[in-house]
């Protein structure tokens, strides 16, 4: 019997496998010490095959960063979808996002290095993520204004201010610098302060 040739793998599946392997390598060895050849070896493929999907190690990191930001976006969407008041949804968003940042981006020194490099590159993927988060906050705040929980105003402007006020809880570098410091506002205090400002 003539053997049946295996079907070629879906390019999207291959891309996902590459990103998963790259993230594992970055987390274990650190971004600076990981090469494209290391990722290829882990997958049992040639570096040339990696370059078919990602033009450089920085593009690999951008892809890994996009995956992490997508998880962050899902946390925000889950909070926004809760059948609760706008105030409580903002509270849940802020605190769950803080917990996600600590657990996902600061769990190891090498992960923090990876995130810092990504932020310093100022990639468009990060700006896109900020816009998506702002849209979610705008929707929650607009609902709160409509129902009398918050003072009337421009919900998009209020969302930008709320995001800026709580950024020390969600920006990986700021969280790393502030976490555990007794001379900084705690996550709950900062969240409550920002929510109270929406009512003025």
pLDDT value, residue 2 = 40
What's the CATH fold of domain 7-55?
A: Arc Repressor Mutant, subunit A (1.10.10)
> Is residue 157 very low, low, confident or very high in pLDDT (cuts 50, 70, 90)?
very high
- Which whole number is the average pLDDT over 123-151? 93
Q: What is the SS3 assignment for 37?
A: helix
| CA 61 to chain CA mean position, Å | 13
Mean pLDDT in the chain? 87
Structure tokens at 9: 């793998």
Question: Structural domain boundaries of the chain?
Answer: 7-55, 65-197
> Which of 99-103, 107-111, 123-127, 145-149 comes out lowest in average pLDDT?
107-111
pLDDT at 4 over 60: no
pLDDT value, residue 194 = 97
pLDDT value, residue 8 = 47
CA distance 176 to 1: 61
| DSSP state letters, 45-69 | S-HHHHHHH-SSHHHHHHHHHHHHH
CA distance 84 to 194: 18
CATH of region 65-197, choose from 1.10.357.10, 3.40.710.10, 3.40.50.150, 3.40.50.170: 1.10.357.10
> Is residue 64 very low, low, confident or very high in pLDDT (cuts 50, 70, 90)?
confident
pTM across the whole model:
0.80
> Which of 6-15, 91-100, 143-152 comes out lowest in average pLDDT?
6-15
């Amino acid at each position: 019997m003539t053997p049946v040739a295996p079907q070629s793998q879906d390019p999207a599946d291959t891309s996902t496998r590459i990103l998963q392997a790259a993230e594992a390598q970055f987390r274990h060895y650190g971004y600076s010490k990981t090469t494209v050849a290391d990722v290829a070896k882990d997958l049992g493929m040639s570096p040339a095959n990696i370059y078919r999907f990602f033009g450089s190690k920085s593009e690999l990191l951008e892809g890994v960063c996009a995956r992490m930001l997508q998880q962050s976006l899902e946390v925000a969407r889950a909070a926004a979808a809760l059948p609760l008041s706008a105030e409580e949804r903002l509270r849940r968003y802020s605190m769950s996002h803080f917990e996600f940042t600590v657990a996902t981006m600061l769990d190891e020194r090498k992960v923090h290095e990876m995130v810092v490099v990504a932020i310093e590159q100022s990639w468009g993927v990060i700006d896109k993520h900020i816009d998506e988060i702002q849209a979610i906050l705008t929707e929650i705040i607009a609902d709160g204004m409509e129902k009398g929980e918050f003072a009337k105003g421009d919900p998009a402007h209020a969302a930008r201010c709320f995001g800026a006020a709580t950024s020390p809880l969600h920006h990986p570098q700021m969280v790393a610098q502030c976490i555990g410091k007794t001379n900084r506002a705690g996550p709950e205090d900062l969240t409550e302060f920002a929510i109270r400002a929406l009512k003025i």
